[in-house]
Structure 1
């Protein structure tokens, strides 16, 4: 500014400069500065321009929560404990009646992370007995996609996609993480008769940061099982508060461990309802979700934060921790609706209409493409990508989902195909311990007239569009072979496994 003033008036006596000349000079300088700013802003990279409007994302994933457990899906008080904080997401956002996941924990978490059917990436089954497992480093996660465009990323809770360095959350796109690398039933091991760490080492809680090795924090036993969701919530709340003060949007992926067996509440909630451990656990879960929602409000970022609440698959089958599927039949590890249809609510004030609900089909695999669209991030183009962008549907620009159906695997077995309101079953299996039995001919169920999937319908024309889904998948496998379970790093397409 001094340079400009000197250039204009430097050769004149200051007493000879009129007030009108000074005002004109200042107005011209103001316009020049505005034009310079606009010019610089227009030359800024697109991803930097978008960053100021990118939403924060709080993704809350529960473990084995059945369709009928929380209040707005028919549970809550009918299960012994109201869930007002979770239910508020339906009132303030959108509730889905036909949101689907894969049939078990590891595959559902894999498809959420990669936007690909888990059978493609060698994560089609829960790994038992210490077998090789996990996502290869070749896979691109939603954490990596959002991190690449400037998001701060945090993962808190159950991972279940490998328990060794190289395949933990901090190796797969997350700036920091805390939780368990495998699953919660292993917390029973240390107190089981005959167990020995020499035979099967106990699972440990872990934490890590990007670029560093994760470190163990102690054995995950029943005592820690009761405490862990409180710690997951505490760390998530801290991350939200810290990142809200930064100049970066955040992606907080919070994988609570409840109500996976053993479904035991935190000691501070024990006996709270008077209706048993299950109701106390449900009250604890609702309170933990409430803490995270309060953290968003306290940070003043409610309007620019997407909040999602869902489950990884259907409920427990093993008593006394068995859950409830509402109007459906079946549990996890089956292709019945109770195994795959889960609660799902999303809130984004001013963007997603409050109180809206839909029975249109959406699958968890669609979260990658949809969240990437909201975050202005890229999706992989060098591999089969099963995720469908549902952003227009979520935002109310259309009342129709972009998905009409999907294949249903249990492990490596194609169990069924869901298309619109029909299910085509290739196998019959009523619960996780029943052996799957191949049907002589595929059986067809109309989910509108037979939600329990007990009365086959003669609508054989449905076989055509259902098999089209199968054929499209099989054609993609011919060009891009499946990654086998236990494939080591480094993996590259076309290399021997």
Structure 2
């Protein structure tokens, strides 16, 4: 055989091997992941969950019809900051330096510097990562030299609503870039509001740098006790000259659209965490939504949220990435919807569940949760699997086919088998721990839910009940038979009580 024949064979074999399927290259493209987190949206606000809702949510309903809707999904906490920590880390927030309550706008960074987050996990696996929206996990503002001793000597204080204050607004040097923000925790890009829309400072940070200095001051709005945390309510404090409360929701959606459009054609997949600041107070629907719902300003604001989410979903579809994009839509806790609002509007923002935001009862933490992944998740499917928002970490690792690091996502369970309806891999739901604004613990296992103490532990009255000598010290409900938590079986089912207390202690001491 001459050199020509040898050369021809070599070229042919090279061509053959280059065309043969390579497992790594032949694997399906990694999906983009978009996580939309509403703020204080109730289970009963979404008409896909509550046909009697006085609020119209056609876009969120459409998303539910295109994927899987969960009926037994929960936030790990019934207030903002702890839930956001749990989403990003797969870990319960009560394991941190914030045992209860929420941070204020000048709260120090809560996520530990060496803690793996969903963003750092995805970044290590080839993703571009971004966060646009309400951060509320603390920012390490630079403190003026003359106040550094005050910061070091100061102690954190909690008010009656469970909000933690760590520094004074006058201590902050806004001319300098904060030393800890989203970019320190796995995000390539960030555009954030530091905390809730009713907490100063009222400003935006892009890539951890203020877009405008908060040189102005707002006296606050609707600050009488009757309207606390309702209506167009915000607290006094520092604000930028151009800040517009009514434009925050549209602004975040505009920024999110830009992010999607700029990365839609990239070879790298992307992750976008989109924590909205609505419909949390201030309830600031733009004028064209006034009176559109049957649930007052709050309902009008929820309808604005629905329209804005629908507009964003349309951008995803128009960008041509829908088929390879996982979209999650959920809420960080239950609604702030007082009993007198139920009577006034005949609208149950928490559906038939007891309590509201901040409470240990179901209304505080049972939330809408839906996932769309075309070609993977059956459209119009529904699951009653008990899940919690800390499960994002393990589920994402499962999607990528990677293992989480040691001591990462300790409180996370993959729900990918549920989403894919892979019956051979579905396991029993891990017990879920609930936590109220005042630090009340509850555990859910199967049909049973145990609360260690009496009272709501949040906003609903009575908040704390000190039981008499012959009364049960806690609460036990069978949610299958009693979803509204009306029949306390704590004194009657002592074996179940002891089993759940033991399980809860085991998780807390893990």
TM-score range relative to shorter protein = 0.7 to 0.9
Cα distance, 1:247 vs structure 2: 0.4
Aligned to 1:308, the other structure's residue is in SS state strand
Determine which structure has the larger helix proportion and give its number: 1
- Structure 1 pair 180/473, CA: closer, same or farther in 2 (3 Å)? same
Taking the aligned partners of 2:273 and 2:409, their CA distance within structure 1 comes to 24
Match of 1:208?
A: 206
Whether the 8 Å contact between 2:136 and 2:194 is mirrored in structure 1 is: yes
Whether the 8 Å contact between 1:170 and 1:208 is mirrored in structure 2 is: no
Map 1:130-141 → 2, pairs under 5 A: 130=106, 132=108, 134-141=110-117
Cα distance, 1:135 vs structure 2: 1.6
Asked whether 1:310 is paired with 2:284, we answer no
Asked whether 1:156 is paired with 2:132, we answer yes
- Structure 1 pair 377/327, CA: closer, same or farther in 2 (3 Å)? same
Aligned to 1:416, the other structure's residue is in SS state strand
> For the pair shown, which has the larger CA radius of gyration, 1 or 2?
1
User: Which residue of the other structure, out of 48, 53, 58, is the alignment partner of 1:72?
Assistant: 48
User: Which residue of the other structure, out of 249, 267, 270, is the alignment partner of 1:247?
Assistant: 267
Asked whether 1:437 is paired with 2:465, we answer yes
Match of 1:329?
A: 354
Asked whether 1:388 is paired with 2:413, we answer yes
Map 1:395-414 → 2, pairs under 5 A: 395-398=420-423, 402-411=428-437, 413-414=439-440
Whether the 8 Å contact between 2:71 and 2:368 is mirrored in structure 1 is: yes
Map 1:65-214 → 2, pairs under 5 A: 65-74=41-50, 78-79=53-54, 81-101=55-75, 102-123=77-98, 124-128=100-104, 130=106, 132=108, 134-164=110-140, 165-186=178-199, 202-209=200-207, 213-214=208-209
Aligned to 1:386, the other structure's residue is in SS state coil
Measured against aligned partners, the alpha-carbon deviations of 1:27-81 in whole angstroms (never above 9, x if no partner) come to 9745522314659x56xxx6x876x521111110000111100110115x732x4
Cα distance, 1:358 vs structure 2: 1.6
In structure 1, runs of 5+ residues without a counterpart are: 1-5, 10-23, 187-201, 477-497
Match of 2:14?
A: 32
Match of 1:293?
A: 313
Match of 2:505?
A: 471
- Structure 1 pair 93/130, CA: closer, same or farther in 2 (3 Å)? same
Taking the aligned partners of 1:377 and 1:243, their CA distance within structure 2 comes to 24
- Structure 1 pair 294/130, CA: closer, same or farther in 2 (3 Å)? closer
Cα distance, 1:273 vs structure 2: 5.4
- Structure 1 pair 132/244, CA: closer, same or farther in 2 (3 Å)? closer
- Pick which of 143-152 and 317-326 moved more: 317-326
Whether the 8 Å contact between 1:161 and 1:167 is mirrored in structure 2 is: no
Aligned to 2:191, the other structure's residue is in SS state strand
Measured against aligned partners, the alpha-carbon deviations of 1:217-254 in whole angstroms (never above 9, x if no partner) come to 35369962211111111111111111111001111111
Taking the aligned partners of 2:483 and 2:193, their CA distance within structure 1 comes to 36
Taking the aligned partners of 1:222 and 1:357, their CA distance within structure 2 comes to 44
- Structure 1 pair 450/226, CA: closer, same or farther in 2 (3 Å)? same
Taking the aligned partners of 2:71 and 2:56, their CA distance within structure 1 comes to 20
- Structure 1 pair 254/383, CA: closer, same or farther in 2 (3 Å)? closer
Map 1:21-60 → 2, pairs under 5 A: 29-36=11-18, 38=20, 41=22, 53-60=29-36
- Structure 1 pair 185/470, CA: closer, same or farther in 2 (3 Å)? same
| Number of residue-to-residue matches in the alignment | 431
In structure 2, runs of 5+ residues without a counterpart are: 141-177, 215-238, 343-347
- Provide the alpha-carbon RMSD of the alignment: 3.0
Measured against aligned partners, the alpha-carbon deviations of 1:251-307 in whole angstroms (never above 9, x if no partner) come to 111111111011111345345558743333122111111122112211211111111
Taking the aligned partners of 1:220 and 1:469, their CA distance within structure 2 comes to 49
Taking the aligned partners of 1:232 and 1:225, their CA distance within structure 2 comes to 12
- Pick which of 273-282 and 227-236 moved more: 273-282
Taking the aligned partners of 2:263 and 2:413, their CA distance within structure 1 comes to 29
Whether the 8 Å contact between 2:324 and 2:373 is mirrored in structure 1 is: yes
User: Which residue of the other structure, out of 330, 342, 352, is the alignment partner of 2:377?
Assistant: 352
- Structure 1 pair 277/221, CA: closer, same or farther in 2 (3 Å)? farther
Taking the aligned partners of 2:130 and 2:474, their CA distance within structure 1 comes to 44
Aligned to 1:66, the other structure's residue is in SS state coil
Whether the 8 Å contact between 2:441 and 2:452 is mirrored in structure 1 is: yes
Measured against aligned partners, the alpha-carbon deviations of 1:111-158 in whole angstroms (never above 9, x if no partner) come to 001001101122342024845452221221101110111111110110
Normalising by structure 2, what TM-score? 0.77
- Structure 1 pair 383/162, CA: closer, same or farther in 2 (3 Å)? same
Match of 1:191?
A: none
Normalising by structure 1, what TM-score? 0.79
